[in-house]
Amino acid sequence: MDLFTIGYEGASQPAVIAALKGAGVRTLVDVRDLPLSRRAGFSKKPLSASLAEAGIAYVHLKGLGTPKEGRVANHKGDMALFWHIVEDKLATPEAAHDLARAGGIAGEGPACLLCFEASHEHCHRKRVAELLAGQHGFGIRHLSPDPAF
């Protein structure tokens, strides 16, 4: 079974939902620390409502989100510090709990991890997906609402 990931940077909400539907995703797992966005339609309430209309469940797992200092490091391009902070966060009991929840969700049917960055190479969702793949044997497929990525 595959575990999907997607980033919404530069995308519209309808394009993200279309990519999810096209892949057969049944549950979107939001792995942002704070499920808020300046981009229209990507804060928790409007996103979960639109997903429900499309027949896709929404789950927010805060324990898998990158803390503020990690987001700042990523924004500044300090990727060594960013990945260090991500690894530290994913080693916490809160993250272990939410990894188990995410694994259970993905084991029940097609699921997709959501975060901001368009490229999974610059996003912690790549590492979350790798951990879940290692624990549960999932294949990883990175989706994009923009075919250029």
* Alpha-carbon gap, residue 134 to 17, rounded angstroms: 27
pTM of the model: 0.94
- Tokens representing 91 are 């080693």
Q: Cα 93 to chain center, whole Å?
A: 19
Q: CA dist 131 to 47, 95, 99, 125, 139, Å?
A: 26, 11, 8, 10, 11
Q: What pLDDT is attached to residue 146?
A: 73
- Tokens representing 130 are 């790798």
Q: What pLDDT is attached to residue 147?
A: 57
Q: CA dist 43 to 60, 87, 90, 95, 97, Å?
A: 11, 25, 23, 21, 23
Say if residues 98 and 62 touch (Cβ distance below 8 Å).
yes
pLDDT (tens digit, 0 to 9) for every residue of the chain, 149 residues total? 999 999 999 999 999 999 999 999 999 999 999 999 999 999 999 999 999 999 999 999 999 999 999 999 999 999 999 999 999 999 999 999 999 999 999 999 999 999 999 999 999 999 999 999 999 999 999 999 975 54
